[in-house]
Structure 1
């Protein structure tokens, strides 16, 4: 079920809201950036995401193909979302960092389904052999 969620970085300077169906599943990846910062994402269409505050406080990090914009707060360093264009799905996307959603209980988070992706080996259709650490 799609619900409206509010979210923010740690210091609160970057705030957003998004219409998300958490029951549709979330994802974790073992690529270099996701594994180093332990990102946990849920993908939404661009029209389901709204930045409420902090545009001037956001920095942009890109690497590799430079197709994804990893946005992070300049003050606290937290990455509340990233966005780009999915060549595989032929559409733009926003990915919300699930850990940055406000007012979601630990119990709710514990019950979310998680799909694992082997981004380290560019094998997006299969999960990595080991996922427990993600």
Structure 2
């Protein structure tokens, strides 16, 4: 399936391909504050519709995940990192994807606070 998403003001926008079978809710210090629901896809399935420079990046702790956010409205539409096998991945914030019924998507809880 093809999905579109963006930050609140639209300065950071994207298209993404894939099947949303579940979301991940993490309780680490940043995810808990953002309240995001994450869907992980191969990074090449996420295509930015706006210039990469439109998003700011925040990295913390081990500096391995790029938390991308809009410097204008502050919304975090996606993040970038690598999976355990070294594949480039995107963590799409499903709350930023248009026309989704979030209540129909199973949510798995991850204890990121303990890792």
With normalisation by structure 1, the TM-score equals 0.81
Q: 1:101 matched to which residue of 2? A: 97
SS of alignment partner, residue 39 of structure 1:
coil
Alignment of 1:25-104 (within 5 A): 25-86=22-83, 88-104=84-100
SS of alignment partner, residue 49 of structure 2:
strand
Q: 1:93 to 1:113 in 2, by over 3 A?
A: same
- Greater Rg, structure 1 or structure 2? 1
Q: Which of residues 91, 101, 104 in structure 2 aligns to 1:111?
A: 104
- Give the RMSD, CA atoms, in angstroms: 1.1
Residue segments in structure 2 that go unaligned for 5+ positions in a row: none
Residue segments in structure 1 that go unaligned for 5+ positions in a row: 123-134
User: Runs of 4+ in structure 1 displaced over 4 angstroms?
Assistant: none
Cα deviations by residue, 1:2-38 (Å, 9 ceiling, x for unpaired): x100000000111100012112x11000100000111
SS of alignment partner, residue 69 of structure 2:
strand
Count of paired positions? 115
8 Å CA contact 1:57–1:75 kept in 2: the answer is no
Offset at residue 72 of structure 1 (A): 0.4
Cα deviations by residue, 1:70-128 (Å, 9 ceiling, x for unpaired): 00001000000000112x34322101000000122xxx210101111000001xxxxxx
With normalisation by structure 2, the TM-score equals 0.94
